[in-house]
Amino acid sequence: MVERALPSPSEMHAALTARDPSYEGVFYTGVKTTGIFCRPTCPAKRPRPENVEFFPTAHDALLAGFRPCRRCRPMEPRGERPEWVAALLDEVERDPSRRWRDRDLRARGLEPLRVRRWFKRNHRLTFHKYSRARRLATALGRIRKGDGVTNAAFASGYGSLSGFHEAFGKLLGKSPTAAKGAPLLTVTRIATPLGPMVAAADERALFLLEFADRRMLETQLRTLRRRLGCAFAPGTNAVLDRTARELAEYFAGDRLRFGVPVETPGTEFQNSVWDHLARIPGGETVTYGAVAKDLGRAAAVRAVARAVGDNRIAILVPCHRVVGSDGNLTGYGGGLWRKRRLLELESGGAGGTRRAPGAP
């Protein structure tokens, strides 16, 4: 079992004062004068040090008698969509060909600037660009099923072929005809207790699952584009829905094995490492050296470490279960604090509530 150790009080006070997002999931703050507990990044006024109590999990804070803050909502998965965003995205999915204007948002009681800021922060593009990307993805789907470019353009809400070709080229980097045979990966964000994750999948399999704040995320997307010649578009599909559902079961302690089909384009050596990772039982860890030895490459410890770092499917291909030769936690792209929390969850320690391994 992995022991759960909080940082020093001085370190947590400093993180709380700075609202440091890297400490999300590391600790929760109980405020004795109000009886509430918060995330480290809560926008509320900072309490005095003598009025603060720190907890490793939200569950511990609840057991101590504190109630969750209504501003930072510490009981909700980070990255959870507000109700107004969920309703707006539902409308987009019901009719992806719709052309949205600011007046349409105002008619729904939504301030366009607020909508823009939320989408920029959470999707790295504005709502209008998001909705245009969905329209183009719908058009590409029609073309790939045999529809003509002209029909696909007008059915997707475009008033001219020139405008359609221009928009298509900007998003997908190629003409509609050239993109006909290109794979299309649908990208979405999935809220988890350890922060939002970005997932990409086609209709068959999951190709990417990374924490949204991982520095390597953009590199991983570029690598997929280069290897597959694929295009990316926002949205959802059955594979992404299943991924979100199984992740929720995992974080609830009800699943250790996943049934989501995955694709891991890479070199022969990388895939041998990733296949080995997928066979490490939940609740257990192995060293990089042990992986290298099992693969018959005992001297290739550094190469194994690089392949582990290049893994594009976090949690499902459990690179967090690989540790240093001395058992210490090392080298996790999502942050060592996440690696620690994942191992705690799988071992049932520090507030983890593992109950069943889950269906394969």
pLDDT in tens, 116-167: 888 887 777 789 888 887 877 777 666 666 666 666 666 656 655 566 656 6
Q: Under a CB-based contact definition with an 8 Å cutoff, are residues 105 and 126 in contact?
A: no
Domain 83-181 has CATH 2.30.30.20: no
Spell out the CATH class of 9-68. alpha beta
* Nearest C-alpha neighbor of 337 from the set 1, 21, 39, 10: 21
Locate CATH 1.10.10.60 in the chain. 83-181
Give the model's pLDDT for residue 155.
62
Active-site residue set: 319
3-state SS class at 51: helix
User: Looking at residue 204, what is its pLDDT?
Assistant: 94
pLDDT value at residue 356: 46
Return the CATH number of the domain spanning residue range 190-347.
Answer: 1.10.10.10
* Gap between the Cα atoms of 131 and 95, Å rounded: 10
Residue range(s) in the chain whose domain bears CATH number 3.40.10.10 = 9-68
Low-confidence spans in the chain with pLDDT less than 70 = 1-5, 77-80, 140-182, 349-360
Q: Which residues contact 49 (CB under 8 A, 6 or more apart)?
A: 13
pLDDT at 3: 43
Q: Where are the beta strands (DSSP E) in the chain?
A: 28-31, 36-38, 52-55, 67-68, 184-190, 197-201, 206-211, 231-234, 286-287, 322-323
Give the start-end residues of each E strand in 39-183.
Answer: 52-55, 67-68
pLDDT at 318: 95
Name the strands in the sheet holding 36-38, side by side, starting at the edge strand that comes first in the sequence.
52-55, 28-31, 36-38, 67-68
Report d(CA 317, CA 358) in Å as an integer: 16
Domain ranges in the chain with CATH number 1.10.10.10: 190-347
Count of alpha carbons within 13 angstroms of residue 316, beta-carbon side: 27
Position 163 scores a pLDDT of: 60
How far is it, in rounded angstroms, from Cα 224 to Cα 222?
5
pTM of structure = 0.69
State the virtual CA torsion across 190, 248, 61, 18 in degrees, nearest 10.
-20
